[in-house]
Amino acid sequence: MLNAVPFALTAALLAPTTPAAADPVRTVAEETVAAGATGVQIRTVHDGHSRTVTAGVSELDSRRPVSPTGRFRIGSTTKTFVATVVMQLVAEHRIQLDTPVEHYLPGLLPRGKEITVRMLLQHTSGLYNYLRAISLDGADLEKVRYQHFSPESLVAIATARPLDFPPGSKFSYSNTNYTVLGMLIERTTGHAWGDAVTKRILRPLGMHHTLVPGDRTRIPGKHAHGYQEMNGKLVDVTELNPSFGGAAGEMISTTADLDKFVQALAAGRLLPPPLLKEMTTPRSAAEEYGLGVETRTTPCGIPVFGHTGGIPGYGTIAFTSADGKRRVEASLTFGRGPANEAFYSLIDKVICA
């Protein structure tokens, strides 16, 4: 949802790992903390061998280490779960990708006859991103931190502004797209999007530590604390009402559970092969975004897909190679500034290690 990795981490993650290093993944984790992160948890799978590496502390002013099984907010990685449910409904012939949203949610969008389901999934609808009107930066977060936002209110914020561009004409990342998709899932199935994700993905895959919190402000069980800079100080923002994320970024998970998800997705256990291919194929090579997944070719030539995520205090990575043999999931807890390239550098270093 918010790609939020500290600027300070970029140099460390972009710096080449020493070839002689005995453990490049641990080196990346330790460099990340040395550059200013509070903690990091990285799970890797290479050809069937899995491991989880942690560095840093789970809470400032504490020596308690980051738990390798702890929960965290996954931000926009939620989008891939939502997209998978939509694609399952496409497979069931209950939704059609190129049918206008107006057909399913009449009157919701001012230009709903021109915006298709596919455009929502690939961020080409032109819908204004409501988070441009709800500031989560710095001390502004305190104004909305415990506020409830309904999907309808978030869409109303977006539709009060004109489209950023004609539907289908270009790519622009907008959380509004996935708020609408959450409403589409509910209209189609008769169940809230979170219930549909739980029934169709979490329970079948045994993702027992993943949840859709709704208005619940706490992260249950073991978890590292997340921080955000406010007036020059790092403030603990672990507790907040994530309803401003909703279907675009509300979920909580663990690296082990996220690994179950991306492994199942790559293996074709959640979608028929033709729809998985469509989901993971970007509209253009320049955009590197399919239908609810980011795509990337690593420097070592291994193509991967998955999603990054950011929400105040937390950054998330969940990616798999196309064949599912190499996977990486990570949680970063931090407090300062966004830098997208830090995410992708971590993916590249781990996948290519």
Backbone angles phi, psi at 202, to 5 degrees: -65, -50
- 233's CB contacts (< 8 A; 6+ apart) are none
Q: What is the CA radius of gyration of the chain?
A: 19
Q: Tokens 């009402």 identify what position?
A: 241
Integer Cα distance of 322 and 304 in angstroms:
6
Query: Catalytic residues, which ones?
Result: 76
Output the six-digit token pair for 328.
């990486």
C-alpha to C-alpha distances, 90 to 115, 185, 198, 304, 320, nearest whole angstrom: 17, 11, 18, 24, 23
DSSP for 39-61 reads EEEEEEEETTEEEEEEEEBSSTT
What dihedral do alpha carbons 128, 329, 230, 247 form, nearest 10°?
30
- Note the Cα 86 to chain centre separation in Å: 16
Total residues belonging to the chain: 353
Q: Give the residue among 219, 209, 270 at the shortest CA–CA distance from 241.
A: 219
Output the six-digit token pair for 163.
């489209």
